[in-house]
Amino acid sequence: MQKGLIYFIVDIDMCPDQKKLPGLFQNWLSVIGCILSVVSFSTILVLFILDLKSQQVNPYLGIVTYMIAPTLFAVSLLLIPVGVLLERQRRRKGGHGAHFPVFDFNNPVHQRRAYIIIGLSTVFLIFLMVVTYRAYEFTESVTFCGQTCHQVMNPEYVAYQNSPHARVACVDCHVGSGVGSYVRSKLAGTQMVYSVIFNKYHRPVETPIKNLRPAQETCEKCHWPRQFFGAVEKDKQYFLSDEKNTPWTNHMLMLVGGGVPPYGQRGGIHWHMNLSNKIYYITTDKKRQVIPWVKVVHADGQEEIYVDKESKFTADKPPKGEMRRMDCMDCHNRPSHGFKVPFVAVNEAMAFGAIDKDLPFIKREAVKALEADYPSQGVAASSIKKSLEEFYMKKYPEIWRQKKDFIVKTVQSVVEIYQQNIFPDMKASWKEYPNNIGHMVFPGCFRCHDNKHQSAQGKVLSQNCTICHIIIKQGTPGAMEGSPDGVPFHHPDGDDDSWKQMNCVDCHSGS
Ligand code: HEC
Ligand code: HEC
Ligand code: HEC
Ligand code: HEC
Ligand code: HEC
Ligand code: HEC
């Protein structure tokens, strides 16, 4: 024991006066500290090599390698000097004048030990630096954010993987760059770990997120706001709820311009992002869906205030609450966690063939099955399967017999839509997270552009259909109308009056 490895490395207590006494390191606490640090260090080493070798990052391996084992290691290292100090105090009380070790470089034994210690420490420090860097990378990884506390982040993680930003790391939008953001996010993260361990988190996770970085530090690092110009083509395919699932096409050009000359033309949707004018607003609800008060500061410094004339507020009596400068996320609030509304997801799946559009009433039945309330994804899967298969078995036995395989495949696609968009355990779905792009299912653009927000000069925020997009083609196959200059909107169900009297959300609120 006396000549053991631990003793060799740590016993530099060679004070000649103290020869009779064992070294200060020889106390239980320090010895346990030594053993634990060797064990935890070897664990880190082995796991680190495993982690480097594995192709995929494993969240649990990462947590043990970069969080639990290093913490254990640090605590064990700390035990060693604490043991020495306690031992010294104990000896002093016992009347032995315990000194600190005397180190003599003229003594070849001391010299050799010093080289060993310095050499080992250097190797060790370099290793520690590499591990620390990997730990930093790990805590910034999508795996860490999306998969470690699996249940809580699962809805966002699943939706994210099906989004245009599936290759953008969570931290690029949620943390931003710079040391300040890193530290802030890790502090917030500690509080989150607490709320997960003690089951104190909100279901669903509440938005808007209060400490999200402004878009200038996140979105605008990749998307250049000066550079928006022209129009983007959107090809929307719908299927009505009749027996034939009648198709309806809406082909439109979204006027996404709004940059700054000479980079892009001035007008268009991204006008809001024009760097020379600023838009501020105040909401009266938590989810920022009701916006009675809007202020524009034009390039020349002139202010213009628009107030919802049906509200009780006026230009100089704004609602109480935070005045927010509009940025990308006020429209693109679901850039990577879009929980699709059932009818939208079913239309898409029918358009690209995952759902068989020749099955009678499949649009109506699939949407109905997806909109029902289920306690869990498991129950949803079996209930959706049961209700859809029974529908065809009972109502269309002939088709069920002929196309059973197609029906089973279609039903599986409907179940997949549920699994990717609706998460009962976290209460996450389109019902909780409105999407502010558009105006059909959620108020979106019409929160301000409702013909009711008026300025002192009598200007209104227009709902004129052609300021944001032009419809270049619409209708059902065989009865299409279109023109490159745009055609007036026709409502697919043939009712061309109601939509002029009411807002789209009054009828289309998600179901
Ligand atoms: C392209 C940018 C972007 C990326 C990438 C991104 N998010 Fe988000 N995330 C947002 C925005 C914007 C919101 C909504 C913020 C708001 O409404 O205040 C949000 C909201 C959330 C919320 C709150 C709940 C909700 O659904 O609104 C969670 C949780 C979340 N993100 C987790 C993640 C995780 C985990 C990842 C990586 C797997 C990730 N995010 C990647 C932009 C992003
Ligand atoms: C790390 C770079 C990066 C960041 C940060 C980022 N994006 Fe993107 N974004 C991209 C890339 C790359 C694409 C194109 C993806 C493709 O087409 O495959 C994209 C696509 C988009 C699109 C077009 C989606 C579509 O359906 O075509 C929108 C809108 C968008 N981003 C908005 C945002 C917003 C809002 C934020 C901030 C919350 C943001 N982005 C942050 C890189 C980024
Ligand atoms: C007033 C609301 C609004 C704001 C603010 C806004 N956008 Fe958009 N953006 C839209 C709409 C509407 C579209 C059309 C496409 C669609 O419907 O998805 C769009 C399209 C885009 C596209 C795809 C179009 C293309 O040219 O390829 C990107 C990328 C994008 N926005 C990024 C951003 C970024 C980054 C910001 C912040 C600097 C921003 N947007 C601010 C409403 C907005
Ligand atoms: C917070 C309120 C608000 C929201 C939400 C909003 N806008 Fe606006 N928008 C404004 C204001 C204010 C103006 C400027 C009116 C003026 O002074 O001429 C404007 C102007 C516009 C213009 C005209 C720009 C030009 O060429 O002069 C377009 C296009 C537009 N918005 C599109 C959209 C779209 C699309 C959305 C939804 C994705 C949207 N807006 C959401 C407040 C808003
Ligand atoms: C302030 C801008 C703005 C105005 C005004 C506006 N729209 Fe839209 N509209 C949008 C945006 C943004 C979308 C979403 C496009 C997308 O989903 O990518 C949209 C989508 C649509 C869609 C497709 C619906 C969907 O989600 O599938 C239709 C149809 C439509 N608009 C018709 C109209 C009609 C009719 C009017 C006039 C009453 C109108 N819009 C006025 C901005 C506007
Ligand atoms: C008075 C109620 C009402 C209003 C207001 C209304 N709609 Fe509709 N809408 C309907 C009905 C009913 C259908 C038929 C649904 C079906 O057959 O699946 C429909 C179908 C649609 C469809 C086809 C969607 C699908 O998958 O079946 C689109 C697109 C649409 N409406 C757009 C709009 C837009 C854009 C507005 C606002 C400008 C609007 N609607 C306002 C009642 C309304």
* pLDDT tens-digit map of 311-353: 999 999 999 999 999 999 999 999 999 999 999 999 999 999 9
| 221 belongs to a structural domain | no
| 217 belongs to a structural domain | no
Is 170:335 a contact under the CB 8 Å cutoff? no
CA of 65 to the centre of ligand 1 (A): 27
Asked if 395 and 362 sit in the same domain, the reply is yes
Question: Any idea which of 118-132, 332-346, 428-442 has the lowest mean pLDDT?
Answer: 118-132
**What number does the ligand 5 atom closest to the CA of 448 have?**
1
- The CA-based angle 28-6-41, given to 5 degrees, is 95
**Which pair of tokens denotes residue 491?**
């409502």
Helices of type H across 277-376: 328-331, 342-351, 362-371
CA of 331 to the centre of ligand 3 (A): 7
Asked if 127 and 17 sit in the same domain, the reply is yes
How many domains does the structure of the chain reveal? 4
Taking CA atoms only, the protein residue closest to ligand 3 atom 17 is 437
**What number does the ligand 2 atom closest to the CA of 218 have?**
5
Residue ending a domain, among 85, 118, 139, is 139
| 87 belongs to a structural domain | yes
| 219 belongs to a structural domain | no
Taking CA atoms only, the protein residue closest to ligand 4 atom 15 is 461
Asked if 445 and 298 sit in the same domain, the reply is yes
Asked if 81 and 159 sit in the same domain, the reply is no
Phi and psi at residue 3, in whole multiples of 5°?
Answer: -100, 15
CA of 306 to the centre of ligand 3 (A): 23
Asked if 416 and 479 sit in the same domain, the reply is no
The predicted pLDDT at position 423 comes to: 96
**What number does the ligand 2 atom closest to the CA of 332 have?**
35
| 222 belongs to a structural domain | no
Asked if 45 and 135 sit in the same domain, the reply is yes
| 283 belongs to a structural domain | yes
* pLDDT tens-digit map of 83-106: 989 988 888 888 776 566 678 889
Residue ending a domain, among 426, 454, 486, is 426
Asked if 23 and 129 sit in the same domain, the reply is yes
Asked if 158 and 190 sit in the same domain, the reply is yes
Residue ending a domain, among 362, 395, 426, is 426
Asked if 289 and 410 sit in the same domain, the reply is no
pLDDT average, residue stretch 368-395: 97
Q: Which of 1-5, 36-40, 257-261, 387-391 has the highest mean pLDDT?
A: 387-391
**Domain ranges, residue 150:** 146-212
Q: Could you give the percent of the chain with pLDDT greater than 70?
A: 93
| 220 belongs to a structural domain | no
For residue 206, which of 382, 2, 428 has the smallest C-alpha distance? Answer: 428
CA of 324 to the centre of ligand 2 (A): 22
The pick from 439, 447, 471, 500 for probing ligand 5's pocket by mutation, whose C-beta has the most ligand atoms within 8 angstroms, reads 439
Asked if 29 and 103 sit in the same domain, the reply is yes
Asked if 88 and 189 sit in the same domain, the reply is no
| 379 belongs to a structural domain | yes
Three-class DSSP category at 109: helix
User: What beta strand segments (E) does 141-267 contain?
Assistant: 232-239, 247-254
Asked if 501 and 418 sit in the same domain, the reply is no
